Structure 1
Amino acid sequence: MTRHLLLAVALAAVSGTVSAAPAAQARHACFHSMEPLEKDVGFCQAVRSGNTLHVSGVAAGGSMDAAVRSVYGRLGEVLQAQGLSFANVVRETVFATDLDAFIANKAIRHEFYGANLPAASWVQVQRLYLPSFVLEVELTAVFEE
């Protein structure tokens, strides 16, 4: 992987705005944060299928408290761009290189969810896409009918 791509992936984890791409079909709409990077790597930041939004993992490095704040802040931006909030999230999967450090910072996570906690799985992994990443979180949210 080129140095440019590594930098772009790292930047994608903490910045960008979400834009919609034309839907490949009526039941599948892809929404991008950093479209050139996403197309190069091969994913969409978020995909809407029916009334469900599937948000790809958002990752960050550094200390776990900074990574938790960064990741959930970025996920909030992705949700907000679709007219949603953490109250719409029904499923969360957390991948952490140090699960104890993530658990120690769960109060930061609660700041984003409040009383609307989703079903969740938290998994410790050996590494993430970039070795510098310590946390990645993916979500599933539902649009209100």
Structure 2
Amino acid sequence: MLLLLALVAVTGAFAQDNKNIVKEKFHFGNKDQDTVWGYAQVVRVDNVLYVSGTVARNTDSAGISNIYRTIGRSLARFGATLQNVVKETVYTTDMDGLAAVNKWRKAAYKGDYPAATWVQISRLLMPDAKIEIEVVAHLPK
């Protein structure tokens, strides 16, 4: 019983700590978040950056290059680059098209590739978009 009470006390203390997470947000247009859809482009918690999905209408070199430039601008707001990215998730409606432009994706990372997941889906929020990429990056402590 004493062990159970100690576990409950520790769990309760941990839950209270989570309520005090400090979030720094960035969104384009000098805002901290979008209130129409309800998201921020980047949320920083401690030394971790969570970058929302960035979309393109085409899985071609121009589309993929634009996505990584936009992600780069989001990261730069916090002093980071694509070399700080540790996890990438790619959602696409055109996996073959994405595979065809993978050399531009790899070039964006300059040989320092993150853990990555690529998923083919039937549709993105923007009906004419074919690709969306989100990343997680770590800043030095």
**Preserved CA contact (<8 Å) 2:87 2:137:** yes
Identity of aligned residues (%): 34
TM, length-normalised to structure 1: 0.78
The alpha carbon displacement at 1:62 in A equals 3.2
- Which residue of the partner structure matches residue 56 of structure 2? 60
Match of 2:77 among 70, 81, 95: 81
CA radius of gyration, larger in: 2
The alpha carbon displacement at 1:121 in A equals 0.2
**How do 1:1-145 and structure 2 match up within 5 A?**
27-34=22-29, 35=31, 38-145=34-141
How many residues are treated as equivalent by the alignment?
Answer: 121
Deviation digits for residues 43-74 of structure 1, max 9, x if unmatched?
00000011100000000113532221111111
**Cα distance in 2, alignment partners of residues 130 and 137 from structure 1:** 13
SS of equivalent residue, structure 2 residue 56: strand
Shift >3 Å, 4+ stretches: 34-37
**Alpha carbon RMSD of aligned pairs, Å?**
1.7
- Which residue of the partner structure matches residue 19 of structure 1? none
**Cα distance in 1, alignment partners of residues 95 and 65 from structure 2:** 15
- Which residue of the partner structure matches residue 9 of structure 1? none
**Preserved CA contact (<8 Å) 1:91 1:118:** yes
- Counterpart AA for 1:48: R
**Preserved CA contact (<8 Å) 1:32 1:46:** yes
Q: Unaligned regions of 5+ residues in structure 2, if any?
A: 1-19
TM, length-normalised to structure 2: 0.80
Q: 1:130 to 1:79 in 2, by over 3 A?
A: same
